[in-house]
Amino acid sequence: MTSVTAGTATPLRDEIRRLVRGLCGGFIFSLPIIYTMEMWQLGHTTPLGKILGFFAFAYVVAVGLNYVSGFREGHDIRDALEDAVEAKAIGLVVAAVMLVLMGVAGGESSWSVFLRQAVILAIPISIGASLARSQFGERDGPGDGQTDGQADGQANGQADGADHPPKTSQSWRADAKDVGLTIFGGIFLGFSVAPTEEILLIATQGHIWNSIGTMALALGISYLTLFEARFVGQSQRLASEGFFQDPWPETVLAYAVSLLVSGLLLWFLGFIGPAMALDETLAMVIALAFPVSLGGAAARLIL
């Protein structure tokens, strides 16, 4: 098993890891909402006062969540306030990136509408980010007081240690399990998005660069979710053996499976077929493969 990162515990690495976990959580928990056109249209119709008011209300909710179940040991109200601001920032970044990649931003849409859409979408995304940071972080080892970096050192030590001799004969079993979980999780999350018109809309209103960017983002977020964000279950994943259990080969293999699952879902639902243009078909498959790949990553992590 190849180590993903050096197990050095540094404050910067810990903080980046917490941000990454929030980022991944924001995507995983909110992607079906992000892929909903009614959410985009709210940017055109919702009054500014309402948007700002609900944004503030969501901030208070996030502060409450962070205070009740904050990630840091010994957290206080100030930590909760600061974490909620960071979650909001994550939400804004994720929303802006997705609005651009989905082709919703740009064209005839003005800056005002783009900002409104980003702030509205940031509300559920930031709640997902807060949840991921506070509830789904891995806290293995003696006591909860250790930092991510310390836990990371343990994880890598476990991965490289003598307690886990090579199990080449059983590696195919782990690979098959990963493929199965990718299909399972992908169908689970993908089915909440696949039957909607948004996939067709995203495919038609986007450019080829939107599709390429979506592919890169899907690969990146899947990798970060499984191997860098220190979600619950990451240590076990790092300890798995076999070529396809290495981070990047596994990420690429899982994404290839996600593309297949996405294509099958769209074909099953009647959205694609032999009569459809190839570029439009590919754009739809890639658009749906994003939630499918994240669902698969979440399933491999949890199960």
Partner 1 sequence: MSRSERPRAQRAVERTVFLLSLALVLGTLVALVWTDRPWEPDQSNLSPRVTATRVLAADGGTVIHFELENKGQLSVAEVVVEVSREGDAASAVEQVFSHVPRGSKREGVAVLEGPPGNQPPRVRIKAYQLP
Q: Which residues here bind partner 1, judged by CB under 8 A? A: 10-12, 14-15, 19, 48-49, 51-52, 55, 73-76, 78-79, 82, 85-86, 88-90, 92-93, 110-112, 115-116, 118-119, 145, 147
For the CB of residue 47, give the shortest distance to partner 1 in the complex, in Å: 9
For the CB of residue 225, give the shortest distance to partner 1 in the complex, in Å: 20
* Nearer to partner 1 among residue 91 and residue 186 (C-beta): 91
d(CA 219, CA 225): 10
* Nearer to partner 1 among residue 148 and residue 198 (C-beta): 148
Tokens of 247: 């981070």
85-115: b (≥16 Cβ within 10 Å) or e? ebbbebbbbbbbbbbbbbbbbeeebeeebbb
d(CA 144, CA 25): 21
Tokens of 168: 């080449």
For the CB of residue 134, give the shortest distance to partner 1 in the complex, in Å: 15
* HSE toward the beta carbon, residue 1, CA cutoff 13 A: 28
* Nearer to partner 1 among residue 85 and residue 276 (C-beta): 85
* Nearer to partner 1 among residue 95 and residue 297 (C-beta): 95
* Nearer to partner 1 among residue 110 and residue 170 (C-beta): 110
Phi, psi of 145 (to 5 degrees): -80, -10
- Length, in residues, of the chain: 303
For the CB of residue 98, give the shortest distance to partner 1 in the complex, in Å: 15
For the CB of residue 112, give the shortest distance to partner 1 in the complex, in Å: 4
* Nearer to partner 1 among residue 115 and residue 285 (C-beta): 115
DSSP secondary structure of 241-285:
-SGGGSHHHHHHHHHHHHHHHHHHHHHHTTS--TTS-HHHHHHHH
For the CB of residue 231, give the shortest distance to partner 1 in the complex, in Å: 19
For the CB of residue 141, give the shortest distance to partner 1 in the complex, in Å: 15
* Nearer to partner 1 among residue 82 and residue 160 (C-beta): 82
What residues does 231 pair with on adjacent strands? 137
The alpha carbon of 89 is separated from its chain's Cα centroid by a whole number of angstroms, namely: 16
CB atoms within 10 A of CB 150: 16
